Structures are given as structure tokens and as C-alpha cells.
Amino acid sequence: MTAIFPFGFSLPTAFYLTLYVLTFVLHQMFMHYVLAGSLYVAWAAAWPGQGSRPRTEQTLSAVLRDWMPFLLSAAITVGVAPLLFIQIVYQRQFYTANLLLWWRWMMVVPVLIGAFYLLYLIKSSWLWRWPYGVRVAVAAGTSICFLFVGFCWTANHLLANSGADWPEVYATGRLPFSAGAVIPRMLVWIGGSFATMSAIVGWQLFYRQTWSEAGAVESPEQRADLRTSVRTLASLTGGGLTIAVLAGLLSIVLGGASSRSLLWSGLILPYLCLTVAGLVLQGIGWRWQWQASRFDIRGLMAATAGAVCSVLGVAVIREGVRLRAVDLVSLAPQHAQAATVGGFGVFIAAALLVSILIAWCVRLVKVSWSPQVNK
Ligand code: HEM
């Protein structure tokens, strides 16, 4: 198929790349909740604070502990979609990197399963009756598992993009990238994850706040708890985004002139602007809420829209870097062939059925979960 799209993509390539990026963004949003949530819970367990209510007993920690197992299953489920598209778009690169990573790649699934069980342990009240050392070890161990899984995806991505190094990696078993390439990259997604997590958990706490307003049951302790949650999430967003931006700048500096020229290219520049607009929106959203000392629908909408813009912008910039390393034009026939494979009708039918079932489950939960039940 001829290249009919800007930047030399064929139609099937552009189609799969778009679906890949969109589903990847969805995966990142859920994954951020679990990663940043587990890091926050570990920090709260290690440093419960001097206030009248230890951090572990505050609503923010309780909501995170409650929801992380569900959000992890969501992150894994929506991770399957970009996994399918990446196998179509970058088949050779992806599989070669999988094989070369060998035992490191094989560790991902057992570590993820272990972390899943640990999240249920963290959710149970049973763990929080155990001595301090056990609580901290379990919470810290869980977040280390997620960091390890994230590291494996980073290593896989970097290895897939450095085809010239594959023979040496095969011969020596050593990974070809330095800490200078891996650490700033990891800091971008670790720092950014706090902003996304704050936006999502902000909505959860907003609904709790609305229920207590509706039931007129808000005590001074609850008000103080809300204020603490708003300020903690605003600080986590500000701190996380600062780290992510600094690490991103460091990556650009270390990437040299070619990285800088990519940023100003026609493909990437609009997404760089989108990322910056997202950062500004998040700043505005959390500032409003900080000033009000409450969760506020306008502020949360700004923070959420900002988080989505930033994650999408970074996802496209990340793809731009990969596109430079891979000859997509030579892969176009393979993408065209994949586009002839059927099953779209079955997909639509299954998607409809699953959406109806999910909507029904959400309704069931909503009906049984009312302010009166949860006073
Ligand atoms: C909570 C566990 C997980 C964490 C912390 C995590 C983290 C990450 C991170 C940080 C990246 C981006 C790496 C980079 O660009 O440097 C990534 C990419 C990705 N993840 Fe996840 N992930 C998790 C679970 C999963 C699972 C279970 C799947 C599949 C079912 C999945 C599918 C993907 C895919 C397809 C990509 C894109 C890879 C690429 O473009 O090279 N992830 N993940």
C-alpha cells in the first residue's frame, strides 16, 4: 500500500498506531493509580505522621487500599489492547526484545501475580493489626514489585528500539543501556503517575464529600480529613510533575541534538504543546481546590483533562522517538496484511455485550452503595 498519510505512514499503519497510542494511554492511566497509590500507601505506612489521625487511617489511604486491586485488574485488562497492537505494528522489534530480556521478561508475570495478592493483603484490616515492620515491609514490597514490572517494560521498549545492539546482547546477556538512559525515563513515568492517581482518587473522594453533604453528616474531623486529602493530592501532583518535567528535560539533554530536533518536528510539536497545556490545566485545577480546601467539580475536571492531555502528549512524543529508530515503511505490507484479517463484527458484538454487562454491574454497585449505607 502506498504511503498516503503525512509522515509517510500507510493507512493501516496509521490506524494501528492510533489505536495503539489511545489504548496505551488508557493502560497508563490505570497503571498510574496502582503505582503511585502503592508508593503513597508505603510512604504512609512508614511515616504515619504526628497528627491526631495517622496517615494510614486517613480516608485517602483507605480509599487507595480499597480500590488498588480493582484498578490493577483494570490496568492489566486494558494493557492487553496495546499489547495486541504493538505486536502488529512492531512485531519483529517487540518479540526480539522479549527474547533477549529472557529471565527478566519471564519474571513479569509471577511478580505481578505476587503483587496482586499483596494488594489484597494491604486491603485487609488484618495486616494493619500486625507490627509496624511487617506493615511497612508488605507495603514497600508491593510498590517495589510494580516498579520492577515498569522497569521491565522500559527495558523491553529500549531494547526493541536498539536493533544494532541485539547481537551483543545475545552474546553477552548484558543490557546495552546506561543508568543515564533508564533512570530519567523511569522518573518521568513515576513522577507523572502521582498526577494521574491524584485526579482519579480526587473524583472518588469528591463523591464521598458529596454524599456527606447530602446526608448533612460532615463532622469537623471529616472536614479536616478532606482538607488534608486535597492538600496531599495537590502536593503529590505538584511534586510528581516537577520530577517528571525535570527528568524529561534531562532525557532531552542526554539525547543530544537529535532529540531536540525531534521535539520541534511537525509530528511532535503539537503534542509537546498539548503536554504543556495539560501541565498548566492540572496546576489550575489543583490550585482552585487547594484554595477551597475541598474537592470541587470544576477543579477536578481541569485536573483530569490536564492529566489526560499530558499523558496523551507524552505517549505520542514517546512514539515519535521510536518511529525514528524503526523503518515503518518497510513494515507497511505486514500492516496491510493484518488489516485483511476479519473478526470486526465479532469484536463489535463482544464489545457491546461486555459494555452492557459492565454498565449493569456499575448500576448494581451504585444502587447498593448509598450515603446511608456508608455513613
Ligand atoms: C502494574 C503493572 C504494570 C506496570 C507498573 C506497567 C508499567 C508500564 C510502563 C512504565 C510502561 C512504559 C515503559 C516505557 O516506555 O518506558 C508500560 C508499557 C506498556 N505496558 Fe505496562 N505495566 C504494567 C502491566 C502491564 C500489563 C499486565 C500489560 C499487558 C497485559 C501491559 C502492557 C503494556 C504495553 C503493551 C506497553 C507498551 C510497550 C511499548 O510500547 O514498548 N502492562 N507499562
What is the position in ligand 1's atom list of the atom closest to the CA of 318? 15
Label residue 335 by pLDDT band (50, 70, 90): confident
Q: Quick one: what percent of the chain has pLDDT higher than 70?
A: 94
The ranges assigned to domains in the chain are 6-341, 342-375
- Nearest ligand 1 atom to alpha carbon 94: 41
The closest-lying atom of ligand 1 relative to the alpha carbon of residue 319 is: 40
pLDDT tens-digit readout, 17-46: 999 999 999 999 999 999 999 999 999 999
Residue nearest to atom 11 of ligand 1 (CA): 153
Neighbours of 65 (CB within 10 A): 23
Residue 194 in contact with ligand 1 by CB distance below 6 A: no
pTM of the predicted structure, to 2 decimals: 0.92
Answer yes or no: is pLDDT of 374 > 50: no
Whole-number mean pLDDT of the chain? 91
The finding on whether 149 has its CB within 6 A of some atom of ligand 1 is yes
User: Is the CB of residue 206 below 6 angstroms from any atom belonging to ligand 1?
Assistant: no
Q: Whose CA is nearest to atom 16 of ligand 1?
A: 154
Higher pLDDT, 333 or 275: 275
Write the pLDDT tens digit of every residue in 184-234.
Answer: 999 999 999 999 999 999 999 998 888 776 666 667 888 888 899 999 999
Q: Closest residue (by CA) to atom 22 of ligand 1?
A: 150
Q: Are 22 and 16 in contact (CB under 8 A)?
A: no
Nearest residue (CA) to ligand 1, atom 18: 153
pLDDT single digits (tens) 345-373: 898 999 899 999 999 998 998 787 665 54
- Measured by CA distance, the residue closest to atom 29 of ligand 1 is 79
Distance, CA 359 to ligand 1 centroid (Å)?
A: 26
State the closest ligand 1 atom to the C-alpha of 186, by its place in the atom list counted from 1.
16
SS (H, E, C) the chain: CCCCCHHHCCHHHHHHHHHHHHHHHHHHHHHHHHHHHHHHHHHHHHCCCCCCCCHHHCHHHHHHHHHHHHHHHHHHHHHHHHHHHHHHHCHHHHHHHHHHHCHHHHCHHHHHHHHHHHHHHHHCCCHHHCCHHHHHHHHHHHHHHHHHHHHHHHHHHHHHCCHHHHHHHHHHCCCCCCHHHHHHHHHHHHHHHHHHHHHHHHHHHHHHHHHHHHCCCCCHHHHHHHHHHHHHHHHHHHHHHHHHHHHHHHHHHHHHHHHHHHHCCCCCHHHHHHHHHHHHHHHHHHHHHHHHCCCCHHHHHHHHHHHHHHHHHHHHHHHHHHHHHCCHHHHHHHHHHHHCCCCHHHHHHHHHHHHHHHHHHHHHHHHHCCCCCCC
Rounded CA-CA distance 224/55 in Å is 13
Instruction: Please tell me the least confidently modeled range out of 18-27, 176-185, 294-303.
Output: 176-185
**pLDDT grade, residue 5 (50/70/90)?**
low
Mean pLDDT computed over 50-78: 93
In tens, the pLDDT along 119-144 reads: 999 999 999 999 999 999 999 999 99
At residue 154, does pLDDT exceed 70?
yes
